[in-house]
Amino acid sequence: MSTLATVLEQLDQAADRLGVEPQIHQHLRHPKRSLIVSVPIQTDAGELEVFTGYRVQHSMTLGPSKGGIRYHPDVDLDEVTALAMLMTWKCALMGLPYGGAKGGVRCDPSKLSFRELERLTRRYASEIYLCIGPDRDIPAPDMGTNEQVMAWVMDTYSMQRGTTVPGVVTNKPVLLGGSLGRVEATGRGVAYVTAEGMAHLGLLLSGARVVVQGFGNVGSVAARLLHEMGCRVVAVSDVGGGSYNPEGLDLEALQAHLRSGQPVRQYPEGDAITNEELLQLPCEILVPAALGGQLTAGNAGAVRARLIVEGANGPTTAEADRLLREGGVFILPDILANAGGVIVSYFEWVQDLQFFFWKEDEVNSRLRDILTAAFRRTLALASRERVDLRTAALMEAVDRVARATRLRGFYP
């Protein structure tokens, strides 16, 4: 199943359990706005290359929409739509005054020079200019983008407005109005909910084996923080493969290896493995923090983790989710597990609007409070309704958006 098909099936199941009225259910299945834009740029060689960009705003019922921008060769409208819908549920579950959005450009950023990347970003930002804004839709980084890309988006938007508008994006450089703690927020949130999940299962963090697929910003931060909590990180991977050491990897040495330009699979203190092999390693905690659709019906039966913490968006297909649960695996779903990024993005947006900024320990403390409360609410609902955590999380999120839709009504 595609990510969009999986997300729609999850919505349908939650709506059915909640008894959501058919007209509201149908409304929630469709995005409010989908924009496809042409992004022509002049390459450094003086040639014209045309890329395709997208921005999908799924919902604005609870407030302006919020969601990242990704640069990746596989970006398409279905993927962006699915991710926008997941953002709606994620924001609602966390109690944030946002709807969900997502954007992207189909490209390979690794093949673009710094100046080509800037021209691409500024042209894309100009094309979606009318759809974004601090009171409309607030982009953030995602796969293939970073705080520099957000600085370009903010500057492009600000130039067209004629005034500096820091609140138009989040995860900017701190110098331009970014929040302390934002870079690590998603990975930190993964670590926080992992601790809650292990406590619920009655398992100790000390000595627990951790496997992380995707050693990027989210996976590397989660791995480091879980190590600091006493866990033993035995395997990590990037797009080219991974490294496995059952005694535990030296994360500092691994990071130095990566900074030298070497891939994870060539780390000399571990055995080279594929991403598929990594998912089947014996461990207590598995963190899929790479692309969506990695855990499927074809490999779910081979997973040997006790707890799966979804650092990525949509890493588990619907059939795999069922098979894993039947096999006794406890899953912390993406809209709960990786919500740290959007929570601190919300903090950044609030700080930008007030022009008053918080200390990093205050940001991290508030992040933990919101995530812990959301975990416990979701766990309590799962117990009352006798459903799994993903269904409970979706039920709470969908119910919140459905109730707001009911109160607001349909215009005209």
Q: Is the full-model pTM beyond 0.85?
A: yes
| pLDDT one digit per residue (tens) for the chain, 412 residues | 688 988 898 899 999 999 999 999 999 999 999 999 999 999 999 999 999 999 999 999 999 999 999 999 999 999 999 999 999 999 999 999 999 999 999 999 999 999 999 999 999 999 999 999 999 999 999 989 999 999 999 999 999 999 999 999 999 999 999 999 998 999 999 999 999 999 999 999 999 999 999 998 899 999 999 999 999 999 999 989 999 999 999 999 999 999 998 999 999 999 999 999 999 999 999 999 998 889 999 999 999 999 999 999 889 988 899 999 999 999 999 999 999 999 999 999 999 999 999 999 999 999 999 999 999 999 999 999 999 999 999 999 999 999 999 999 999 8
Q: How many CB atoms lie within 10 A of CB 93?
A: 24
Task: Answer yes or no: 102 catalytic.
Answer: yes
Domains belonging to the chain, first-starting first, are 3-166 (3.40.50.10860), 185-332 (3.40.50.720)
| Candidate list 90, 102, 111, 172, residue with the active-site label | 102
Q: Is the dihedral of CA 317, 323, 325, 327 positive or negative?
A: negative
Cβ contact 178:172 at 8 Å: yes
Distance CA 47, CA 125 (A): 21
Quick count: other Cβ atoms within 10 Å of Cβ 294? 22
